[in-house]
Structure formats: structure tokens, C-alpha cells
């Protein structure tokens, strides 16, 4: 049975969220700079939003449709962000990833480490064929993370997201299992 395992990296680990993580999630999402680049996180973000979100992640794991993990910084044992592999299409063996990281942790390579860990889970445990991600065209930092982890730009979906009173293009990135295997052999 697939559950919410812990995935351990060099500086971070990914683990199932607990209700005690609500305060870490809430605290990190008080910075609008994080919310600016997400497609679904509400603003303002309240404590009850964090609790509701955590409960929803447990339901997704039980149903095997979404695996959401807290990104835990080993140095402090605190949740500094969230990453998920979701919208799993078991028939076609593909799924979407999404992630965010607290602003004070930006620029340290932690998001790339989290993406590599979730890809390992997606391809080695879930046995998926493809993982994809959508992001706002203006989100240069997230684009760099995906490219660094082996994703390729597959296309632009023009003006498909309405946020902050304007239309945004969404960039679609993807990585195949074969590309993941090729990339991981380079790191070993």
C-alpha cells in the first residue's frame, strides 16, 4: 500500500503534514510574495486555511490521488514549505507537481532538492511515466528550479489564469521517466 512516506534529502526531508504543522504553514504564507506565484492559495491566508488544507492532504493520500508533503528543514525541524504530486491519472501514469517555499529559504537550492525528492517518489514508488508542472510565465525562479531538475518547456497556455485583476500565461513543463533516469545517473 502506498502511504505518505518520509523522503530524506541532504538538507530537507519530505513528510506527511500533521495538524501541528498548521502554524508553520500559516506563518510562511503571511508573505504575499509567496502567494503571488501560486495558482490556488488564497490571500489573506488564515490559520483555519492551514488546518483545512492539512485535512484535505490526508484525504488525498487515503484516496491515492494527491500526495502532499511538508518540506522540513532538517536544521530546525520546521515545515518551511509544501510540495505535492497530485491530480494523478493512474491510467496514463502522469501527475502534476506544485510547490512553494517560505521566502527566507529562497535561493538556497532547497526547492530543487524537494523537487528531486518528489520526482524520485513519483517515478520509483508510484511508477509514473510523466510528471508535469504549470506556472505563471513571470515566475522565473520556479522555471529555473524545474529546468535544473530536468523538466522541459512543453508550451505556453495563453491568458488562461486570471489573478490579481489581470490575465496570465501559464507555462507547462514536463519530465518523462526516461529523462528522470538519465538525470539521476548524472548525479550518482
Query: pLDDT tens digits, residue range 9-26?
Result: 899 999 999 999 999 999
Nearest one of 159, 123, 110 to 138, comparing CA atoms: 159
- Contact partners, residue 45, CB within 8 Å, separation at least 6: 26, 29, 30, 35
Task: Please give the grid coordinates belonging to residue 154.
Answer: 512543453
CATH number where 59 lies:
3.40.630.30
| Domain assignment of residue 136, yes or no | yes
Q: Is 96 left (phi over 0), alpha (psi -120 to 50) or beta?
A: beta
| Grid cell digits, residue 40 | 490556488
The 10s digit of each residue's pLDDT in 102-144 is 999 999 999 999 999 999 999 999 999 999 999 988 888 999 9
Does residue 165 carry a pLDDT above 90? no
Q: Is residue 1 part of a domain?
A: no
Nearest to 69 by CA among 145, 17, 133: 17
According to the model, what pLDDT value does residue 31 have?
A: 87
Residue 151, SS3 per DSSP: coil
Q: What percent of the chain has pLDDT over 90?
A: 69
Task: State the chain's mean pLDDT as an integer.
Answer: 90
Evaluate the omega torsion of the peptide bond into residue 169 and state whether it is cis, within 30 degrees of 0.
Answer: no
In a domain, 164, yes or no: yes
Pick the closest to residue 41 from 52, 51, 29, 33 (CA basis).
29
Assess if residue 95 is contained within a domain: yes
pLDDT given at position 14: 96
pLDDT of residue 3: 45
Nine cell digits for residue 129: 511515466
Q: What is the pLDDT of residue 182?
A: 87
The structural domain count of the chain equals 1
Quick: pLDDT tens for 47-64: 999 999 999 999 988 998
Let me know if residue 105 belongs to a domain: yes
Pairing of strands 67-73, 166-176: unpaired
Residue 179 resides in a domain: yes
Interatomic CA distance for residues 141 and 144, integer angstroms: 5
Closest to 5 measured CA to CA, from 174, 126, 105: 126
Structural domain boundaries, residue 170? 7-187
Whether the pTM exceeds 0.85: the reply is: yes
Confidence of residue 169 (pLDDT cuts 50, 70, 90): confident
Question: In this structure, is residue 2 part of a structural domain?
Answer: no
Amino acid at each position: 500500500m502506498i502511504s505518505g512516506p518520509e523522503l530524506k534529502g541532504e538538507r530537507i526531508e519530505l513528510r506527511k503534514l500533521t495538524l501541528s504543522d498548521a502554524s508553520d504553514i500559516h506563518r510562511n504564507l503571511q508573505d504575499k510574495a509567496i502567494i503571488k506565484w501560486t495558482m490556488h492559495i488564497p490571500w489573506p491566508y488564515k490559520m483555519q486555511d492551514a488546518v483545512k488544507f492539512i485535512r484535505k492532504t490526508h484525504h488525498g493520500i487515503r484516496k491515492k490521488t494527491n500526495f502532499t508533503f511538508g518540506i522540513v528543514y532538517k536544521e530546525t525541524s520546521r515545515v518551511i514549505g509544501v510540495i505535492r504530486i497530485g491530480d494523478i491519472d493512474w491510467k496514463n501514469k502522469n501527475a502534476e507537481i506544485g510547490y512553494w517555499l517560505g521566502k527566507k529559504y529562497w535561493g538556497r537550492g532547497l526547492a530543487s532538492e524537494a523537487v528531486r525528492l518528489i520526482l524520485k517518489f513519483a517515478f520509483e514508488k508510484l511508477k509514473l511515466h510523466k510528471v508535469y508542472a504549470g506556472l505563471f510565465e513571470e515566475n522565473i525562479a520556479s522555471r529555473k528550479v524545474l529546468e535544473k531538475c530536468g523538466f522541459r518547456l512543453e508550451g505556453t497556455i495563453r491568458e488562461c489564469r486570471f489573478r490579481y485583476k489581470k490575465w496570465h500565461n501559464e507555462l507547462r513543463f514536463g519530465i518523462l521517466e526516461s529523462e528522470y533516469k538519465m538525470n539521476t545517473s548524472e548525479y550518482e
